[in-house]
Amino acid sequence: MKYQDFVISNGIMIGKFEEMYQAFDDPWEQSTREKFALEKQIALQLLKKNNHKNPVEIGCGHGHFTNEIYKHVGNATGIDISYSAIQKAKNLYPHCNFYCSDISDISTIKTANVDCIMLVEVTWYVLDKLEKFKKDISVLQNVGFFHSLMTYKPGQQQYGKNYFTNGDEIKEYFSDVIDITDFGEIGHKDYDGGKRTFFLRKN
């Protein structure tokens, strides 16, 4: 069994994240991929460009990217729905702030007093909670929002097609509550026609 089978399988959302983190030591190769993921390097540069001082990463897993954020801006918070993931993140990076919480609970973000919300490559896993999340972030003042997500070549995507299928549709989906300032797409020969999309709302 692969870790993906706990997440999305055959176009169906499974969402057993706690079970996945208990069964697998390094899903998505988090411990090694963070150093080479171009969309995350772009995120770090945009954080610095816009002078963000206390970002929060939603869906932080074991906290590897949260730690990279910390090293770049001096403070960082990570949130994940999996208790096992958060416990490991706390052990690995005790200088960062970590909370076990759900994207639907905006109170954790408010408590952490963050200045930028980061949704990095996790949106496919929270589609059923996006509408509430949009409403929640629309009323937050002076809080930026960075979003990145892998899209797929036409005909390949099975899950989430009723939400969006490409970068333009992702921007349109969020544009009613977010004034997007920086955006782009990253292509790579290994993506098989898919692209990494990203955008930022300044605080």
Quick: pLDDT tens for 95-136.
Answer: 999 999 999 998 888 888 899 999 999 999 999 999 999 999
Q: Give 194's contacts (C-beta < 8 A, 6+ positions apart).
A: 150, 151, 152, 153, 156
As for how many domains the chain has, the answer is 1
Q: How far apart are CA 111 and CA 132, in angstroms?
A: 18
pTM of the shown model: 0.93
Joined together, the tokens standing for residue 114 give 């963050």
pLDDT at residue number 121: 94
Whether 24 and 85 have beta carbons less than 8 Å apart is answered as no
Q: Are 123 and 164 in contact (CB under 8 A)?
A: no
According to the model, what pLDDT value does residue 77 have? 96
CATH of the domain at 32: 3.40.50.150
Query: Does residue 51 fall inside a structural domain?
Result: yes
pLDDT digits (tens, 9 = 90+) for 150-189: 999 888 888 999 999 999 999 999 999 889 999 999 887 7
Assess if residue 7 is contained within a domain. Answer: no
Res 192: pLDDT: 74
- Here the tokens at position 59 are 């869906």
Domain hosting 37: range is 28-201
Q: Is residue 137 part of a domain?
A: yes
At residue 35, does pLDDT exceed 80? no
C-beta separation of 164 from 199 below 8 A: no
Cα–Cα distance measured from residue 4 to residue 180, given in angstroms and rounded to the nearest whole number: 31
Asked whether residue 108 is assigned to any structural domain, the reply reads yes
134 within a domain of the structure (yes/no): yes
Residue 193: per-residue pLDDT: 72
Instruction: Kindly provide the residue ranges of all beta strands, DSSP E only, lying in the chain, ordered along the sequence.
Output: 8-9, 12-13, 55-58, 77-80, 97-100, 116-120, 144-151, 182-187, 195-201
DSSP state, residue 91: H
Is 10 a member of any domain? no
Lowest mean pLDDT: which of 39-48, 104-113, 119-128, 138-147? 104-113
Whether residue 96 lies inside any domain: the answer is yes
